[in-house]
């Protein structure tokens, strides 16, 4: 339920946002000490606002996953390959002749008749889709660009393709988590500990035959660091405990008794 949408003409500073949030709670006669958590993006003004109000804050998992992946891709080889992807996508986007020729070549090669994709800087999933689509259409792209001396230099090299395949192998399994944890019709906070556990113990574990670049991207520890503070851990433990699918499965053994006692105290005080 959306209780309130407010006109906000002032500068969106942390101080102004903090006051606006407190005014909103007061207008609904809601007590600050009953507030469990606020979910925000990772903007510095939002983080500051929650720090000023001293309200518990859980930043959006999608934003944090985006930042984790961007941190894991800080490598000159990746920067070059992604740059190639963008230039190739732009070349087809701005030329109807190339799109026409691409459709002909796709039919000849038996490839899907898909257009290329350009990434959106604020959505990591669009980068993965851009890379995945270029790899799918690699042969058609090379054939169309290769016959035009003005665009021949845009054909991805085998080194670029190796880098893009390493990126795609690492990040493509993560997309479903962004979708699952961005749902608005159901509670998703209880998924966080299970998802982070799955990332750490399965999807981001090195595998035999992987490239060193894939292993490097997987080794990024950004997400663990962001969810490691005691207040956040307690919040996620409580959410997992309340979910009958998970209960204590993803809670550290030495924390289980404390979380259960806190849940009992909260239930008693609320009744």
- Predicted local confidence at residue 130, as pLDDT: 93
**pLDDT tens, residue by residue, 174-195:** 777 666 666 667 778 888 888 8
Contact 130, 89 (CB under 8 A): yes
Instruction: Identify the residue whose tokens are 């993560």.
Output: 174
Q: Which of 3-17, 20-34, 116-130 has the lowest mean pLDDT?
A: 116-130
Say if pTM beats, i.e. exceeds, 0.95.
Answer: no
Ramachandran quadrant class, 6 (left: phi over 0; alpha: psi -120 to 50; beta: rest): beta
Mean of pLDDT values over 119-142: 87
Instruction: Return the bridge partners of 185, or none.
Output: none
User: Does pLDDT of 268 surpass 60?
Assistant: no
- Predicted local confidence at residue 123, as pLDDT: 67
- Predicted local confidence at residue 230, as pLDDT: 86
Q: What is the spatial distance between Cα 149 and Cα 166, in angstroms, rounded to a whole number?
A: 29
Averaged pLDDT score across all residues of the chain: 87
- Predicted local confidence at residue 145, as pLDDT: 95
Mean of pLDDT values over 2-15: 87
Q: What is the DSSP string of 198-231?
A: HIIIIITS--TT--HHHHHHHT--HHHHHT-SHH
User: Does pLDDT of 40 surpass 60?
Assistant: yes
The runs of H, that is alpha helices, within the chain are 14-27, 44-53, 61-72, 76-93, 96-109, 124-136, 138-146, 158-171, 175-180, 192-198, 212-218, 222-226, 230-242, 256-270
- Predicted local confidence at residue 161, as pLDDT: 95
Q: Is 133 helix (H, G, I), strand (E, B) or coil?
A: helix
**pLDDT tens, residue by residue, 64-76:** 877 888 888 889 9
Going by pLDDT thresholds of 50, 70 and 90, the confidence category of residue 271 is low
Mean of pLDDT values over 93-115: 95
């Amino acid at each position: 339920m959306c209780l309130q949408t407010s006109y906000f003409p002032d500068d969106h500073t942390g101080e102004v946002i903090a006051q606006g949030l407190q005014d909103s709670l007061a207008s609904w006669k809601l007590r600050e000490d009953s507030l469990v958590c606020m979910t925000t993006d990772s903007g510095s003004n939002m983080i500051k606002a929650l720090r000023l109000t001293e309200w518990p804050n859980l930043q959006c998992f999608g934003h944090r996953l985006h930042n984790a992946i961007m941190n894991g891709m800080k490598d000159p080889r990746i920067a070059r390959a992604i740059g190639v992807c963008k230039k190739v996508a732009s070349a087809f986007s701005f030329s109807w002749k190339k799109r026409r020729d691409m459709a002909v070549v796709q039919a000849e090669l038996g490839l899907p008749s898909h257009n290329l994709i350009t990434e959106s800087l604020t959505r990591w999933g669009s980068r993965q889709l851009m890379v995945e689509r270029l790899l799918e259409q690699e042969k058609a792209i090379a054939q169309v660009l290769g016959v035009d001396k003005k665009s021949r230099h845009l054909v991805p090299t085998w080194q670029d393709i190796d880098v893009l395949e390493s990126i795609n192998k690492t990040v493509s399994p993560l997309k479903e988590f962004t979708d699952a944890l961005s749902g608005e019709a159901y509670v998703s906070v209880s998924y966080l500990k299970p998802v982070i556990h799955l990332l750490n113990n399965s999807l981001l574990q090195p595998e035999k035959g992987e490239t060193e670049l894939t292993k490097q991207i997987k080794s990024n520890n950004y997400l663990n660091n962001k969810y490691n503070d005691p207040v956040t851990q307690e919040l996620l433990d409580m959410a997992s405990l309340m979910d009958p699918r998970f209960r204590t499965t993803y809670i550290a053994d030495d924390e289980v008794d404390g979380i259960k006692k806190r849940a009992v105290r909260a239930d008693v005080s609320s009744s």
